[in-house]
Amino acid sequence: MVNAYAAFEQGGVLQPFEYDPGPLGRQQVDIQVEYCGICHSDLSMIKNEWGMTQYPFVPGHEIVGIVAEVGSEVTPLRVGQRVGLGWYSSSCMHCEWCMGGDHHLCLSAEGTIVGRPGGFADQVRADQSWVVPIPESIDSAVAGPLFCAGITVFQPIIQCGVQPTDRVAVIGIGGLGHLALQFLNAWGCEVTALSTQPDKEAEARRLGAHHFVNTRDPAALQAIANSFDYIISTVNVSLEWSIYLNALRPKGRLHLVGVAPDLSLPVFPLLGGQRSISGSPVGSPATITKMLNFVARHGLAPQTEVFPLAQVNEALEKLRSQHPPYRLALKC
């Protein structure tokens, strides 16, 4: 039996929950959970904001643990190996997207917390293809957020072909943005932090920003026109997007990973400057592996506050009401 914490109703507090995972599939892996990050997506699923939550609902999709058992056909993983699991737990492995290396775009991909129990537990199960070994130098206590927040901001670097010589900007210096600053700086880019909170300037520079712009200052916004090859937005609020479009150089790209409620843009600056707009979710297992190796090589890490699993509701309340600047995780 698996011991977990679950919400039994929409928006409910998490309570101890026990379930039988059933027999292990031939290509499945059971992970003994050590740490699990807490994401805003967990809050959204607890409240059924996306209309796909099934109760009892066990959150948790930023999982770090040890392989406890492997199915009879599992070949790349071994019992005792340290691994991680993110938003997806399986994909079909035969569609054009899986065969092309874009497993995260598989139309039948299974979410780790969608219709199945997640990682706020002592054990979680997944298909071998989505269980990713973690390099030795990465601390387990902070590794979990890399499997959602980390890959969310690393995937676009690969997808958009960001170059080390590019001038880039990050909108929002929070749970996603603080990792984007680190990644882009280590990638070799000239990095600018764009934030409504001027008191974050020193911290943004410590994380890797070479420049800081207070986006509540109209003069500062005017000064960044035609400045960037690439802008990544990590915020989930509406902005005056035309300002950021004008901040792009010709052939520049505005890329969205934050779930902003709307996007209204004038077309002429897109046409005249041959600019583009794009978005992305997480990434494939191969890209997650690449990100982990990159993080290990450069000694990067999410800034993470850890709570014991028994204090899961206190941790969720802190995420819900206090909006901590970076990441939270549970020690399971």
User: Which tens digits make up the pLDDT trace of 214-273?
Assistant: 999 999 999 999 999 999 999 988 888 899 999 999 999 999 999 888 888 888 888 888
Pairing of β 248-256 and β 304-308: unpaired
Torsion of Cα atoms, 212 then 215 then 217 then 220, to 10°:
50
Supply the pLDDT for residue 18. Answer: 97
Average pLDDT of span 6-13: 97
109-133 pLDDT, tens per residue? 999 999 999 999 999 999 999 999 9
Token output for 17: 């929950």
- Indicate the pTM of the whole model: 0.94
pLDDT-derived band at 323, boundaries 50, 70, 90: confident
- Calculate what percentage of the chain has a pLDDT beyond 70: 100
Supply the pLDDT for residue 111. Answer: 97
Supply the pLDDT for residue 72. Answer: 97
Supply the pLDDT for residue 266. Answer: 82
Please check the confidence at residue 325 and state whether its pLDDT lies above 80. Answer: no
d(Cα 52, Cα 41) in Å, to the nearest integer? 12
Residue 164: phi and psi, rounded to 5, are -60, -20
Supply the pLDDT for residue 272. Answer: 84
Classify 97 as helix, strand or coil. helix
Average pLDDT of span 67-77: 96
122 C-beta neighbours (distance < 10 Å), count: 17
Supply the pLDDT for residue 287. Answer: 97
Average pLDDT of span 289-296: 98
What is the residue type of 258?
Answer: G
Average pLDDT of span 134-147: 97
More confident residue, 274 or 169: 169
Q: Which of 20, 54, 52, 42 is nearest to 123 (CA)?
A: 20
Q: Sign (positive/negative) of CA torsion 248, 237, 117, 6?
A: positive
pLDDT-derived band at 183, boundaries 50, 70, 90: very high
Supply the pLDDT for residue 294. Answer: 98
Residues 6+ apart with CB under 8 A from 241: 254, 263, 264, 265
Instruction: 21-25: list long-range contacts, CB under 8 Å, 24+ apart.
Output: 21/117, 21/123, 21/125, 24/69, 24/70, 24/71, 24/125, 25/71, 25/127
